């Protein structure tokens, strides 16, 4: 499978729609909670300041958006967007429980309904490998961020240590679809997670795609657990 081949947006929407109610539970069990640590690292590298406007795209059930809001401590504004309504419904239900002010809106990350330079920070976690055109999505994220602001991308990659690669492959091919399927009733969604992550560009290869947008002047990555996941920190050109 060509990892950058066009994903069918309708099937992606349907897939997340079906698992939306079980998404958080499956995520926490299958990642042993580690995704919270990765997301907290993303926030630490966002350069966010009190009063900032933050956009979290492909927000899903809003995990990262709520973490940003907590860090802003009552100042600024957080907007979460996704193109799957059932995922957004779960996020909106969570705003009631958390007394949160995060606003959740329907939007495709490849065509964001915002003006240029509206946000100080924009993020996308575990969403970019699902989009039809990685470069276009990164360009949109860069467009809506202010000059000097940051785009943060968290995404799966491939471990570079052979031992970890072997263990991770066993886990993601044999365990993940079974346990994910058992929790959500949709093993296919967790087979897709494995297949879509296995060959998705990571590290410098991903930064080469980001560079083609011409929107970022500084770019770097941080590798988690030998490359199971990567955080990309893209700084918007000051112009
Ligand atoms: C694996 S979930 C990640 C959710 C959340 N960001 C997290 O870290 O838990 C991927 C999300 O990306 C969304 N998504 C995929 N393609 C999208 C697109 N083109 N525009 C907006 N959202 C998209 C899906 O609807 C889904 O909610």
Structural domains of the chain, ranges and CATH numbers in brackets: 9-158+201-236 (3.40.50.150)
Atom of ligand 1 nearest to the CA of 154: 8
Mark the ranges of the chain whose per-residue pLDDT is less than 50.
Answer: 1-6
Size of the chain in residues: 239
Expressed in angstroms and rounded, the spacing between residue 239 Cα and the centre of ligand 1 is: 30
Q: DSSP label at 148?
A: E
pLDDT at 239: 59
pLDDT at 229: 94
pLDDT at 186: 83
Task: Select from 27, 60, 129, 135 the residue to mutate for testing ligand 1; criterion: most ligand atoms less than 8 Å from CB.
Answer: 60
CB 37 within 8 Å of CB 141: no
pLDDT at 114: 98
How many other C-beta atoms lie within 10 A of the C-beta of residue 89? 15
Q: Name every protein residue with a CB atom under 6 angstroms from any ligand 1 atom.
A: 9, 12, 16, 27, 58-60, 63-64, 82-84, 87, 108-110, 125-127, 130-131
């Amino acid at each position: 499978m060509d990892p950058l081949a066009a994903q069918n947006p309708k099937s992606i929407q349907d897939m997340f729609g079906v698992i939306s109610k079980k998404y958080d539970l499956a995520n926490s069990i299958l990642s042993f909670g580690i995704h919270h640590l990765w997301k907290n690292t993303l926030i630490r590298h966002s350069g966010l300041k009190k009063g900032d406007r933050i956009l979290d795209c492909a927000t899903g059930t809003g995990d990262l958006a709520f973490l940003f809001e907590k860090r802003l401590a009552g100042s600024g504004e957080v907007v979460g967007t996704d193109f799957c309504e059932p995922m957004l419904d779960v996020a909106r239900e969570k705003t009631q429980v958390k007394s949160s002010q995060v606003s959740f809106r329907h939007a495709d990350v490849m065509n964001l309904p915002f003006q240029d330079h509206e946000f100080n920070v924009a993020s996308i976690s575990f969403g970019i490998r699902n989009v039809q055109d990685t470069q276009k999505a990164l360009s949109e994220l860069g467009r809506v961020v202010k000059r000097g602001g940051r785009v943060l991308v968290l995404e799966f990659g491939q471990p570079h240590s052979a031992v970890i690669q072997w263990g991770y492959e066993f886990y993601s091919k044999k365990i993940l679809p079974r346990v994910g399927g058992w929790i959500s009733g949709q093993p296919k969604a967790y087979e897709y997670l494995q297949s879509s992550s296995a060959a998705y560009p990571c590290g410098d290869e991903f930064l080469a795609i980001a560079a083609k947008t011409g929107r970022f002047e500084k770019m770097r990555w941080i590798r988690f657990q030998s490359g199971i996941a990567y955080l990309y920190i893209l700084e918007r050109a000051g112009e």
